């Protein structure tokens, strides 16, 4: 682009230094359109400020884009320290720290979609069904970055970070996942109970597939006591909702259906 005098920026005679090029690459995250837009903005800035030398150095790029090249190793210790600080700030319910660490990463050149993916995971692992909307907020922020890009979509990431930090917390889904994996590993692939098996053929029906199944919609409240787990796993409880946020309602529903014996009073 800098060498193309007809369709590019070659008529201005600018030269890009190696460190400036590296900074542009970091900011683009592999998106050529972002890189070209940033380069054009840097050239416009250089022309507006009547830059005497035709060299686009790191300082010019930083001034033009208002994005400092902060020291940051994406594969080093600081990368993991910052994402850890961000994650723990979300978990601890501190929106001030959450937005601080978010922008520490973004301004240092971290891939915004990496951060967005971590927020999606956080929404399921640390918020869960205490606020079912949290996952949608995180997914929307990811989608917004893909559709809009920087700098406008940074606010979408901020919105998601603050929302997640302030949401009621529950790791009940995470614990359920861990417990059910351990159970399957311990007991193996237990057979599906006959009454909830699919029975598309006469032979299967003759063998007892589907026999005794009670259709919940035929009962009051669209629910009827019925066993859905294999014999050796019967009565196991994997998901234990907390008493926080929407899980309080889920806890109430479980208690109403099956009594409180399997669900502790405190989540």
Q: What are the domain boundaries of the chain?
A: 10-65, 77-166, 188-258
CATH topology of domain 10-65: Helicase, Ruva Protein; domain 3 (1.10.8)
Q: pLDDT digit string (tens) for 171-227?
A: 999 999 999 999 999 999 999 999 999 999 999 999 999 999 999 999 998 999 899
Following DSSP, what letter does each residue of 112-155 receive, concatenated? HHHHHHHHHHHIIIIIGGGSTHHHHHHHHHHHHHHHH-TTTTHH
Cut 0.75: pTM above it = no
pLDDT exceeds 90 at position 162: yes
Cis peptide before 248 (omega within 30 of 0): no
Highest mean pLDDT among 40-54, 58-72, 199-213: 199-213
> For residues 26 and 28, what is the distance between their CA atoms, to the nearest angstrom?
6
pLDDT at 256: 83
Q: Which residues pair with 55 in a beta bridge?
A: 15
CATH number, domain 77-166: 1.20.272.10
pLDDT exceeds 90 at position 151: no
pLDDT at 228: 95
Q: The domain at 188-258 falls in which architecture?
A: Orthogonal Bundle (1.10)
> For residues 210 and 158, what is the distance between their CA atoms, to the nearest angstrom?
50
């Amino acid at each position: 682009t800098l060498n193309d005098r007809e369709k590019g920026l070659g008529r201005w005679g600018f030269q890009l230094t190696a460190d400036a090029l590296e900074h542009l690459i970091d900011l683009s995250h592999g998106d050529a359109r972002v890189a070209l837009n940033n380069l054009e903005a840097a050239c416009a800035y250089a022309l507006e400020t009547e830059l005497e030398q035709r060299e686009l150095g790191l300082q010019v790029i930083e001034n033009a884009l208002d994005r400092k090249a902060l020291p940051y190793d994406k594969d080093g210790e600081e990368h993991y320290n910052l994402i850890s600080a961000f994650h723990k700030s979300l978990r601890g319910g501190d929106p001030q720290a959450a937005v601080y660490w978010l922008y520490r990463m973004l301004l240092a050149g971290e891939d915004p979609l990496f951060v967005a993916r971590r927020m999606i995971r956080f929404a399921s692992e640390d918020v869960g069904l205490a606020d079912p909307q949290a996952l949608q907020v995180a997914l929307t922020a990811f989608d917004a970055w893909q559709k809009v890009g920087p700098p406008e979509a940074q606010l979408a990431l901020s919105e998601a970070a603050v929302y997640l930090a302030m949401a009621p917390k529950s790791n009940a889904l995470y614990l359920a996942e861990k417990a059910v994996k351990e159970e399957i590993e311990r007991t193996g692939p237990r057979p599906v109970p006959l009454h909830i098996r699919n029975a598309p053929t006469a032979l299967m029906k003759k063998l007892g597939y589907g026999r005794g199944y009670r259709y919940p919609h035929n009962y009051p409240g669209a629910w009827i006591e019925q066993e859905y787990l294999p014999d050796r796993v019967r009565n196991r409880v994997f998901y234990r909702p907390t008493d926080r946020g929407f899980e309080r309602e889920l806890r109430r529903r479980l208690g109403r259906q099956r009594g409180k014996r399997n669900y502790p009073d405190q989540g």
